[in-house]
Amino acid sequence: MAPFAEPALLRMKLGGPQVTEGQNALMVQFFEWDSTGGKISWWKHFEDQVPRMKELGVTQVWLPPPNKAMRPKGQGYDAYDLWDLGEFNQKGSIATRWGTKEELIHAIQVAREHGIDVLIDAVLNHKLGADRREKFLAIQVDDNDRRIDLGPAKEIEGWTGYDMTGRGNKHSSLKWSHQHFTGVDYDHITKTKGVFKIAEPGRKGWSHRLIRNLAPDVRRDLMDWGVWVLRKLVQQVSDSMPANILTGSFSANGLVDVFSKCRSLKPRLCIQLANARNTHGQQVFAVGEFWNSDVAKLVRDIRAFPGEMCFFDVPLHQKFFLAGQQGSKFDLRKILRGSLVQARPRDACTFVDNHDTRPEGSLVSWVGQDNMKLIAYALILLRPDGHPCVYHGDIFPDPESHIGRDLPAKIEVLCAARKLYAYGGLRDYFTEKNLIGFVRSGDDKHPGGCAVVMCNLLESERTGETGIAMNVGANLLDPSATTVTVPSSGNGWFPCSEQVAVWVKS
């Protein structure tokens, strides 16, 4: 087996000048599935929150897909036209759900002026909202196993014609037809919903994606779009700044998910990344999502894309979800076992929740117990390994967000603690089932360090003696707590009156 390449996080740009100067990097996913900006656009809302995020130590912001969706309020994952960023009157509006192209460009400019890099999500394996139907040969396959044909090829009529009449030929002249897709989910002739494999001459087998990335004109269009969107959103801001907007953070329907399943297409993703990096700099950030809790399969993907991208730590998220369900029955000493951040600490992008894991989302694995959510954030924010991503709904919650009233302010404190104190060596104290802790020793620029204690006992089960002896203080999350005096032996007793206590030198 080939050795690992240099870890991806050591090769990629994780923020502005403050990261280069030694500040910890931090990503925020700045959207929820149903987010709206109220009386202003989402892009303007993002722009308004930039100064606050800088204060919290945010160095990267992940934005939703900026492309035109199949309907005015579509989130962009229902991708109609990648080349329309809120510029053309298509699908009922000029602006996308999130705003106009001009608003997006200006918001990115403000973010970069504050040292915050911007990542955009991209959907590159399907399209929705076709302008017209076409007739072609197709084979209906089993919904649960697309390798099983349910009959011979027959003529069907599907929504596969994309003309982009509002945009015309500006930016791209490609007009999409059934020849650019591998499958559809509806036959208009028989009014049948299902999975239909397009069976035109020259087709070989089935693909896990709907877009034919092997078609030369599709491949060329996607490659051109990757370069164009970086240039459009960055170089109009400043030609002197190196670009590192992500052309696909690749969520559940995104490019990396496709390539993780289709090994033969791996070279095309590498070409896409190489193309972007050759044009915009070798430190362009890329992260992949492969929704699988088996860390061995994620490690396999890391080998498949050596040093090219980091991966979301899905196994760790699933462990957080399990711990939240089990409460005090869960053994906190095992919280990191089987995680990507433990196996490949410099290839892991850690997170607690995202727009797909919410209770009404497609994955339904919300870390719903507030006590576990705070512990999870302490683990990803205050330890040295991995690149943490904070979910918008946990730190800037909408009124309908599924999070305790007091929790966002506490997560903000943890973000600030990451910026100010979480530096230097690590010493773990994972000694009890329901009580664990660790110490960061600090570094030359941040000499204080911090001590972190976490407890998953119910409030009724905790006593005044709940705590852990550690070598490192005031409690950031409980200002009323008594200051800990560390004796000359170097060991102090750090109590944990709530789920998480973060102690720093006073």
Amino acid, res. 396: F
* Residue of 457, 466, 495 whose CA lies nearest to 478: 495
Question: Which tokens in the block code for residue 224?
Answer: 């051109």
Q: How many CB atoms lie within 10 A of CB 12?
A: 22
Q: Which CATH class is domain 24-125+216-420?
A: alpha beta
* Sequence-distant (≥ 6) Cβ neighbours of residue 26 within 8 angstroms: 15, 56, 57, 58, 59, 60, 381, 388, 390, 415, 418, 419
Residue 401 binned pLDDT confidence (cut-offs 50, 70, 90): confident
Give the pairing of strands 117-120 and 492-495: unpaired
Q: Determine which of 51-55, 411-415, 427-431, 459-463 has the lowest per-residue pLDDT on average.
A: 459-463
Question: Which tokens in the block code for residue 342?
Answer: 């433990």
Residue 262 binned pLDDT confidence (cut-offs 50, 70, 90): very low
Q: Higher pLDDT residue, 424 or 239?
A: 424
Break the chain into its structural domains and give their ranges. Answer: 24-125+216-420, 132-198, 426-504
Task: Give the position of tokens 């800037």.
Answer: 396
Which pLDDT score is estimated for 112? 92
Q: Which CATH class is domain 132-198?
A: mainly beta
Identify whether the C-beta of residue 349 lies closer than 8 Å to the C-beta of residue 27.
Answer: yes
387 sits in which H/E element: strand 387-391
Please write the tens of the pLDDT for every residue from 263-297.
333 444 555 555 556 555 657 788 888 888 999 99
Mean pLDDT of 102-106: 96
CA 122 to chain centre: 11
Residue 308 binned pLDDT confidence (cut-offs 50, 70, 90): confident
Which pLDDT score is estimated for 252? 25
Mean pLDDT of 310-317: 94
Mean pLDDT of 449-469: 75
Mean pLDDT of 381-390: 98
**pTM, 2 dp:** 0.85
CA 497 to chain centre: 32
Identify whether the C-beta of residue 79 lies closer than 8 Å to the C-beta of residue 128.
Answer: yes
- 154 vs 37: CA distance, rounded Å: 47
Question: Which tokens in the block code for residue 285?
Answer: 């950030």
Which pLDDT score is estimated for 374? 94
Please write the tens of the pLDDT for every residue from 56-83.
999 999 999 999 999 999 999 999 999 9
Sign of the C-alpha dihedral computed for residues 352, 355, 356 and 362 taken in this order: positive
Residue 442 CA neighbour count, 13 Å, CB half = 15
CATH superfamily of 426-504: Golgi alpha-mannosidase II (2.60.40.1180)
- 331 vs 286: CA distance, rounded Å: 34
- 311 vs 314: CA distance, rounded Å: 8
